[in-house]
Chain A
Amino acid sequence: MKKIVVISGKGGTGKTIFTASLTDLIPGPIGIADCDVEAANLALLLEHVDVRSRPFSGLEKARIIQDLCVGCGLCSINCRFDAIECQDGEYIVDPVHCEGCGVCMDICPEKAIVMEPMRDGTIYLSRTSKGLMSHAELCAGSGTSGLLVDQVKKEITGEMRDEKALIADGPPGIGCPTISAVSGMDAAVIVTEPSVSGLHDLERLVRMARGFDIRLFLVINKYDLEPGMSKKVGDYAATENIPVLGCVPFDPAVVDAVRKGIPPTRQDSPASQAIRSAYDKLAEMMELV
């Protein structure tokens, strides 16, 4: 089974659209994971039927059992995250600031503090025409998106049997969620855009990815909007020995497809042709068929 993740560094470069296109072109059955847990958009492009969902709990957080609390305030004084305050005479843990370190629990002389799992989000499993898909929604303010990404991957890999590939839509950025998405995958396709921000973030992303044993590929999206910058991105890829799968032109047909809720490869257009040819190159280099 080949495991491929699509990442970008900078947000909004076209990861999700490219991932949806990949799932459309690659022969099924496959497994699909939407690892962009803060803004899960892949499901908007792939027709699907829900199979099941389950709540997700990440970091345990502290809770003060008021009946046992004597109001000594030791917990509040020792909390490094300013998560415990006295409100109307009661000491209360603010779950948004609590980092789950457990120091308050350890220090409480009355054993009045417990660590409890908090609802951090929901994980969904659905069926698409190409195979099963997992995705999730993270609750606002949560700090456990790396773990949720791992759970989204586990949700789908747990169900996979003879599928030839796992295709994952990655999150933007280079932090824990992206690290979690990249971990254990065979290849990462980086979708970038020809802009100073795009190139800057691409460089940071590549440095992060080098820490993993993973093959890297590049797609330059909307390359024709800024040919000068596209060349700079191409040159950078060459110095880093990253194969460029293709350059996709800016194309209103892509937005049109998104509005229709389908991958752009379902309609013929300059962009979809470029995506197809990028896929062909990927399929050849990764021996996908």
Chain B
Amino acid sequence: MKVCITSKGPGPDDMMEERFGRAPFFIFFDTESEELNAVENPFASGAGGVGPRAAQVLIDNGAKSVVTGNVGGNALGALRAAGISIYFLRESGTVKAAFQQFKDGKLTKAF
């Protein structure tokens, strides 16, 4: 299944991004094949409503879970309505490391 990790850059060695709506990149990992697909966030510098629009990107890409630092009110509503599980991770680390923690079951589902 697909998990999305908010990222500062397009690659697995890039640092994880704490913010959801304004994350520069969304990296989608397939937990079986471990293949990844990086999507640039076109709304990162939008004036408003970036949370729901970011959630739309995840919905459109078929993500079932997301690993991020924090999620604003509107984005939270959108992700929950879409049935996407939310995991919070706040220490600095690479996207690859975050994915490994997720795969190893080390993260707690917040929503």
A and B touch in the complex (CB under 8 A): yes
A146 proximal to B (CB < 8 A):
yes
B22 proximal to A (CB < 8 A):
yes
Which among A100, A144, A147, A176 has the greatest number of chain B C-beta atoms within 10 A? A147
User: In the complex the two chains form, is B72's CB within 8 Å of A147's CB?
Assistant: no
Bound form: Cα–Cα A183–B51 in Å: 13
User: In the complex the two chains form, is B72's CB within 8 Å of A150's CB?
Assistant: no
Count of A interface residues, CB-CB < 8 Å: 14
Find the B residue at minimum CB distance from A180: B48
Contacts of B48 in A (CB 8 A): 146-147, 176
Q: Mark B50-76, 1 if CB is under 8 A from A, else 0.
A: 000000000000000000001011000
User: In the complex the two chains form, is A59's CB within 8 Å of B73's CB?
Assistant: no
B110 proximal to A (CB < 8 A):
no
B47 proximal to A (CB < 8 A):
yes
User: In the complex the two chains form, is A144's CB within 8 Å of B47's CB?
Assistant: yes
Main SS at interface, chain A:
mixed
Interface residues of A in 135-185 (CB under 8 A from B): 143-144, 146-147, 150-151, 154, 176, 183-184
User: In the complex the two chains form, is B47's CB within 8 Å of A147's CB?
Assistant: yes
Bound form: Cα–Cα A59–B49 in Å: 12
Contacts of B22 in A (CB 8 A): 150, 154
Find the B residue at minimum CB distance from A211: B73
Bound form: Cα–Cα A151–B73 in Å: 19
Contacts of A147 in B (CB 8 A): 45-48
Bound form: Cα–Cα A103–B75 in Å: 24
Contacts of A100 in B (CB 8 A): 47
Main SS at interface, chain B:
loop
User: Of A146, A154, A183, which is within 8 A of B72 by CB?
Assistant: A183
Bound form: Cα–Cα A143–B48 in Å: 11
A29 proximal to B (CB < 8 A):
no
Contacts of B45 in A (CB 8 A): 147, 151
Bound form: Cα–Cα A58–B22 in Å: 14
Contacts of A151 in B (CB 8 A): 45
Contacts of A146 in B (CB 8 A): 47-48
Find the A residue at minimum CB distance from B18: A184
User: In the complex the two chains form, is B70's CB within 8 Å of A184's CB?
Assistant: yes
Contacts of B73 in A (CB 8 A): 211
Q: Mark B4-24, 1 if CB is under 8 A from A, else 0.
A: 000000000000000100100
Contacts of A176 in B (CB 8 A): 48
Find the B residue at minimum CB distance from A212: B73
Bound form: Cα–Cα A183–B70 in Å: 11
Contacts of A58 in B (CB 8 A): 47
User: In the complex the two chains form, is A59's CB within 8 Å of B47's CB?
Assistant: yes
Interface residues of A in 32-79 (CB under 8 A from B): 58-59
Looking at the assembled complex, report how far the CB atom of B13 sits from the nearest CB atom of chain A, in whole angstroms. Answer: 19
Contacts of B19 in A (CB 8 A): 184
Bound form: Cα–Cα A239–B68 in Å: 36
Bound form: Cα–Cα A154–B48 in Å: 15
Looking at the assembled complex, report how far the CB atom of B51 sits from the nearest CB atom of chain A, in whole angstroms. Answer: 11
15 contacts between A and B (CB under 8 A): A59-B47, A143-B47, A144-B47, A146-B47, A146-B48, A147-B45, A147-B46, A147-B47, A147-B48, A150-B22, A151-B45, A154-B22, A176-B48, A184-B19, A184-B70
Please give 16 more A-B residue pairs, beta carbons under 8 A apart, in addition to A100-B47, A147-B45, A184-B19: A58-B47, A59-B47, A143-B47, A144-B47, A146-B47, A146-B48, A147-B46, A147-B47, A147-B48, A150-B22, A151-B45, A154-B22, A176-B48, A183-B72, A184-B70, A211-B73
Top 5 A-B pairs ranked by shortest CB distance?
A59-B47, A147-B47, A144-B47, A58-B47, A146-B48
